[in-house]
Amino acid sequence: MSIEHVAAGDPGEISDALTTRFTALHGRAPVGVFAAPGRVNLIGEHVDYNDGSCLPMALPHATYAALAVRDDDRVTVSSVQQESGWAGTLGTLRPGRVDGWATYVAGVVWALQQEGWTFPGLDVAVDSRVPVGAGLSSSAALECSVALGLAHVAGVEVDDEVRRTLVRACIRAEVEVAGAPTGGMDQTVAMFGLAGHALLLDCRDWTTTQLPWDPAAHDLELLVVDTRASHELTDGGYASRRADCEEAARALGVSSLREVEDRDGALKGISDERVRRRARHVLTEMTRVDEAAEVLRAGDYAALGRLFEASHESMRDDFEISCDELDAVVDTCRAHGALGARMTGGGFGGSAIALLPRAGVDAAAAAVAETFATRGWPAPGFLHGVPSDGARRLR
Ligand code: GAF
């Protein structure tokens, strides 16, 4: 069986094509094209909103935003992938006023206005190579590509401090405007990702450390499998896990699960069985992230694979955010030589990652495709998980 991968495309070509399209649509060239990537999280799931650390990396698959200012106060938003766009005025950009995918664009403009930034009217056109609904953070990629463009429009020099401001605005767009109660990992890695690295992100103080991560140098590949099973961060499952974590922290008398000192002993202080299991996932996952950072520093990818395994079991059994399709990817990749495999992202569908010997990737992918066909599920998508750069200007 021949396996096709979802192409990341050539950034220069995508940027040129988007410029041509923008110019035809708006009668003038954009001031620039800005790209921000999708992501996978290597480990540290559902810990960001518990103030813990996580270890995501940027994908080569990115969203591209072309922008130009207008001489009135209108904002227009269009996309190569979407039939309908959005148009309104700067004054109408508020939570609850914009629907659909354009919410993420409008939300970032609104959130930066809340930070005191001012904008003229804008035309925005986007193109994306990040699969939507795959748990690969297409929304953060969209937010961050637009945010970087807005910084340019506002004449702001983009240093790390400004990037942190942009991340904050993108999180507000996601949480307050799009209504997804997420934690901030996705926007941070979309802004701070670095080729050849994973980003160790401490969500208590938002400090970041770049850890060298180069599977190819070890003759390995990180295969990303989009199960194409539904994944929706606004439909309640994510929020209920978050509520369980808050309840666990309350039961333990701490402001967040990160503050628990005795991670093994603390669990007996939680009487509700379900809440205890949720806390066990988060607390053990925090320890796994610490260990993953250590083994990554040591280049011990076999040990990293074992941590993937334990992480997946914890999400499947304690946090209960896996599903048949994700479990099937993990089990099949394991059976085909993976050093480790796990679901990645919010869960309830979406994507899994598998660390495989390069020579075995095609066979593992073919076996996954066959498993899906046998079980009557839609064909999965495959992506090369190459650690890539975060948000950047292309032209
Ligand atoms: C989603 C959220 F957007 C992140 O903030 C994070 O909580 C993740 O799920 C789970 O680790 O991607």
ipTM given for this complex: 0.99
All CATH 3.30.230.10 domain ranges in the chain, comma separated: 4-205+388-393
Count the alpha carbons within 13 Å of 294 in the hemisphere toward its beta carbon: 8
Confirm if 144 and 179 have CB atoms less than 8 A apart.
Answer: no
Q: Please name the residue ranges forming H helices in 64-137.
A: 102-114
Residue of 40, 46, 240, 353 to test ligand 1 pocket, by largest number of atoms within 8 Å of CB: 46
- The CATH number, out of the four listed (3.30.1360.20, 3.40.190.10, 3.30.70.890, 3.40.50.720), of the domain defined by the range 215-384: 3.30.70.890
Instruction: Give CA–CA dist 255/263, Å, rounded.
Output: 15
User: What separation in Å is there between the alpha carbon of 346 and the centre of ligand 1?
Assistant: 5
Instruction: Give CA–CA dist 209/207, Å, rounded.
Output: 7
User: Quick one: pLDDT at residue 233?
Assistant: 66
Atom of ligand 1 nearest to the CA of 41: 11
All CATH 3.30.70.890 domain ranges in the chain, comma separated: 215-384
Atom of ligand 1 nearest to the CA of 48: 7
Consecutive 10-residue runs of the chain (395 residues): their mean pLDDT? 88 98 98 98 98 98 98 96 92 85 94 95 98 96 98 97 98 93 96 98 97 97 96 79 98 98 95 98 98 97 98 98 97 98 97 98 98 97 98 96
CB neighbours of residue 254 within 10 Å: 15
What does CATH list as the number for 4-205+388-393? Answer: 3.30.230.10
Atom of ligand 1 nearest to the CA of 346: 9
Instruction: Give CA–CA dist 46/185, Å, rounded.
Output: 9
Atom of ligand 1 nearest to the CA of 184: 5
User: What separation in Å is there between the alpha carbon of 323 and the centre of ligand 1?
Assistant: 16
User: Looking at ligand 1, which residue's alpha carbon is closest to its atom 1?
Assistant: 346
User: Quick one: pLDDT at residue 95?
Assistant: 85
Is 186 an annotated catalytic residue? yes
> What's the Cα-to-Cα distance from 44 to each of 160, 239, 311, 335, rounded to whole Å?
23, 17, 8, 24
Q: One of 48, 51, 123, 186 is an active-site residue; which one? A: 186
Show the tokens assigned to 81.
């992938």
User: Quick one: pLDDT at residue 1?
Assistant: 62
Instruction: Give CA–CA dist 117/70, Å, rounded.
Output: 17
| 264 contacts: CB under 8 Å, gap ≥ 6 | none
CA 383, 385, 389, 390 torsion-angle sign:
positive
User: Quick one: pLDDT at residue 3?
Assistant: 84
Torsion of CA 182, 186, 188, 193, to 10 degrees: 170
Q: What is the pTM of this model?
A: 0.97
User: Looking at ligand 1, which residue's alpha carbon is closest to its atom 3?
Assistant: 182
List, chain by chain if needed, residues with CB within 6 Å of any ligand 1 atom: 41, 45-46, 48-49, 182-186, 233, 345-346
Q: What Rg, from alpha-carbon coordinates, does the chain have? A: 21
